[in-house]
């Protein structure tokens, strides 16, 4: 619930304070490519800010609280509510929060590794959205409740959670490789799933580095 409220409040500030304040939020809180400085007043998407923007470490977390439009935040928060509430009940709030932000940061690192560049040749652009965290939550749901049946919205086809995760993971990989659905950080979504998968394996004691105590599943 706290994550839903925080994301909603940030979206309100983005929409209510249009202009320079909104652009300053993008400048300091969105995830910008590492090693790149961009004059925002020369960028067609951000005409109001007249100063240099570049990568800062805190952006690996803060970018996950920002969204581009209503549909962007709606589907991310819907997925967080649908799948995250049962995981939080199983794990507890502290462990759930750690996992979520670990996925958000992992998705950001993946996005930095792949590189984020605009499609029209104008230079780098920032990444925003909680999708990396929500894809990590989806992965955890599929591993915790693999046989739970989920009904897709488009098309309305019921399937088990494990196949649901494989379907969306494969779709993101295909889109990222082929360039379909441009303007979406597909590899960031995959990064959220990958880092979530590795963390769960660590908690289960399946990696060479073992946790100090056995985790409850």
Distance of CA 176 to the CA centre of its chain: 15
Determine the pLDDT at residue 118: 46
**Phi, psi angles (nearest 5°) of residue 48:** -90, -30
What number is the average pLDDT over the span 8-30? 85
Whole-prediction pTM: 0.87
- The span from the CA of 173 to the CA of 190, in Å, is 7
* 25 Cβ contact list (under 8 Å, min separation 6): 10, 13, 14, 17, 66
* pLDDT tier at 199, thresholds 50, 70, 90: very high
Using one digit for the tens of pLDDT, what is the confidence trace for 28-41?
899 988 776 665 65
């Amino acid at each position: 619930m706290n994550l839903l409220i925080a994301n909603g409040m940030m979206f309100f500030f983005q929409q209510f304070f249009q202009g320079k304040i909104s652009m300053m939020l993008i400048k300091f809180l969105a995830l910008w490519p590492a090693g790149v400085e961009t004059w925002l007043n020369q960028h067609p998407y951000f005409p109001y800010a007249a100063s240099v923007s570049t990568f800062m470490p805190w952006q690996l977390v803060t970018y996950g609280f920002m969204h581009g439009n209503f549909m962007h935040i709606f589907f991310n928060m819907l997925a967080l509510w649908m799948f995250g509430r049962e995981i939080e009940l199983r794990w507890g709030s502290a462990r759930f929060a750690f996992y979520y932000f670990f996925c958000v940061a992992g998705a950001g690192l993946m996005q930095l590794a792949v590189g984020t560049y605009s499609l029209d040749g104008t230079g780098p652009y920032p990444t925003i959205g909680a999708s990396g965290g929500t894809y990590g939550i989806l992965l955890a749901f599929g591993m915790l409740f693999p046989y739970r049946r989920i009904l897709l919205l488009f098309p309305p086809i019921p399937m088990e959670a494990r196949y649901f995760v494989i379907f969306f993971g494969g779709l993101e990989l295909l889109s990222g490789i082929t360039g379909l659905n441009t303007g979406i950080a597909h590899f960031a979504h995959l990064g959220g799933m990958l880092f979530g998968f590795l963390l769960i394996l660590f908690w289960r004691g399946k990696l060479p580095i073992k946790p100090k105590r056995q985790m409850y599943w």
